[in-house]
Amino acid sequence: MPQIPSLKSIQAFEVVVRRLSFKDAAEELHVTPTAISHQIKNLEEHFGVALFHRLPRSLRLTKEGEIYAPFIRDAFEKLNAGSAALLNDDLDGTLTITTTNSFASNWLVPRLKRFSEQNPLIAVKVLGSDELLTFPKDNIDLAIRYGEPDHVDLHAAWILDDYVSAVCAPDYLPTSPELSMLQKGQLIQYEWTGFSDKDPSWEGWFQNQGFGFAPQKPVNTFSEEHMCISAARDGHGVALVSLIAAARDLEEKRLVAPFDYSVKNKSYYLVCPKSSANRAKVQVFQDWLLDEADLFRDSVIGQRFFEK
């Protein structure tokens, strides 16, 4: 048998394949990006081939990396399944998830059919709430939330970075509009409780493009993002909103994003107690969610606005 490489290097490779980033892989494994880079280098030296193309702002698997990756992914899935079997943790019953109303209705729920088809014995219960729920008190298995997790007792897996951009009804602006057209149009903005100058705004969006902010009409503001999306969808103006929140309307062509420009907003994480992170239902849902996030980044919307 060929000598098996270092398990640390294999683990680093598995995470980098999923994240396509040394930095993000380091965060997941709680080590430094340099340590991840060394582990990948050791693995490449072991086989005598390059496994990744190091691009200026991203990573891409080489032909050899694409051959190796499915075997490693399969091995980790079998390890997780074996651990679950040892703990008598079956893939059935109810999995209770809490997330924001916006993420649930606009991104998660439209994709859940695929999870149910792959895991027919798991019943998914989604609790949409913009308030943070307590895992044991509210009988929650896992949460999907935005912002950096900062609790030492929590397991956290990065899912998606969100981006903010301008959206409107398909016939509100002409094809390939000039940015200056927005000065005369009706602008719509989401301003929630606690909104501050650091949060995404039309003023910041224009300034980041080097364009003076001087709309000829007042900016209409709403306290809920779905109100902004609804107003834009009904042709009331151009809304500056989360592309994840607008994903379903963009995918189904009820909205368009007329400008190839976006501003990075929040990051979404799957979060659960460390004590339950290895449960079979949690693991299979996390793996599915990461795959769905990859599919979204590879979609027309993702390739246009989202970084790998």
| Range scoring the smallest mean pLDDT among 27-31, 149-153, 187-191, 262-266 | 149-153
Paired tokens of 291: 């795959």
> What is the pLDDT, as a whole number, of residue 193?
80
Examine the pLDDT at 12 and tell me if it is beyond 70: yes
Residue 154: phi and psi, rounded to 5, are -105, 140
pLDDT tens by residue, 39-52:
999 999 999 999 99
Predicted confidence at residue 275, as pLDDT, reads 79
d(CA 218, CA 203): 12
Q: Residue 164: CB partners within 8 Å, gap ≥ 6?
A: 200, 205, 240, 241, 242, 243, 262, 263, 264, 265
User: What pLDDT sits at residue 1?
Assistant: 47
pLDDT of res. 95: 93
The chain-wide mean pLDDT, for the chain, equals 87
Length of the chain: 308
Between the CA atoms of 103, 198, 158 and 47, what dihedral angle is there, to the nearest 10 degrees? 140
pTM of the complete model: 0.66
- Domains, the chain, with CATH or none: 7-86 (1.10.10.10), 93-160+267-305 (3.40.190.10), 163-265 (3.40.190.10)
